[in-house]
Amino acid sequence: MHAWTLVFDLDGTLVDTAPDLTASTNHVMNGIGLAPVAEGDIRPFVGHGALAMIERAAAAQGRQLSQQELYALFDVFIGHYAANIAANSVPYDGVIAALDTFKARGATLAVCTNKTEALARALLDSLDMTRYFSAITGRDSLGVCKPDPGHLTGTIALAGGTAARAIMIGDSETDIKTAQAAAIPVVAVDFGYSLAPVATFWPDMIISHYRDLELAAGRLMDAHLNT
C-alpha cells in the first residue's frame, strides 16, 4: 500500500456524528418553540448540512422558514455544535484499527469533508484522530467542495499523493460522484447517512464494516496495477 493515498469523508464515514448534530438541531428547534426531532429522522439529511437539517426538522412540524430565518438559525446551530462537537460522536467500529493498519503499511491518509475545515479539525482533535491524516480539507479549504472533483484531487495533492494512486472512501451520493468525476476508485460504506442505498450510485466496492476495507482497497489497487 506504499505510495497509495486513501481519502476519507468524515461524517457518516469515519465518525458517527448524528447524535451531536441532532442535539444541535434540537437546540435550534427549542429556540423557536418547536418539539425535538428524533435522531432517526435527522440522519438521512446529515450529509446535506446544517441548513437542510434545520429546514427539514421545522418543515416536519409544519413550520416553513424564510431564508433570513434559516441563516440566523444556522449561526445558532453552529455555535451550539462547535461547543459540543464530540459530546456523543464516535468513530465507527473498526475505524481506528483500520487507520493503524493502513498507516503501518505505508499508505497516506487524508480527509475530504463538506464540513468547514475548522469544525472537521476540532472533531478529529477531540477524538485524537488528527494524527492519522496528512491533509484535512473542508468545504472552505480549496475554493471548491464536493461534488466538485477539485476538492478531492486538491486534498490528494495536499497530502503529497497522486490521483493515479488514490482511493476515496465515503458514504453518500456526493462522495461517490466526486470520486467518479475525478476518475478515482471509490469504496462506499453502507452504514452512513445516504438517502438511498449506496449501491444505487455504483461505487466500485461497498463495505459494511471497516474490517473489510483492507481487502476492498487491495482489490482496487490490484485492478489498477493490472490495467
Catalytic site positions: 9
Q: Which residues contact 199 (CB under 8 A, 6 or more apart)?
A: 188, 190, 206
Distance of CA 87 to the CA centre of its chain: 18
DSSP string, the chain: -TT-EEEE-SBTTTEE-HHHHHHHHHHHHHHTT-----HHHHGGGGGG-HHHHHHHHHHTTT-PPPHHHHHHHHHHHHHHHHHTTTSS-EEPTTHHHHHHHHHHTT-EEEEE-SS-HHHHHHHHHHTT-GGG-SEEE-TTTSS--TTSHHHHHHHHHHTT--GGGEEEEESSHHHHHHHHHTT--EEEESSS--SS-GGGG--SEEESSGGGHHHHHHHHHHHHHT-
Residue type, 214: E
Residue 89 one-letter amino acid? S
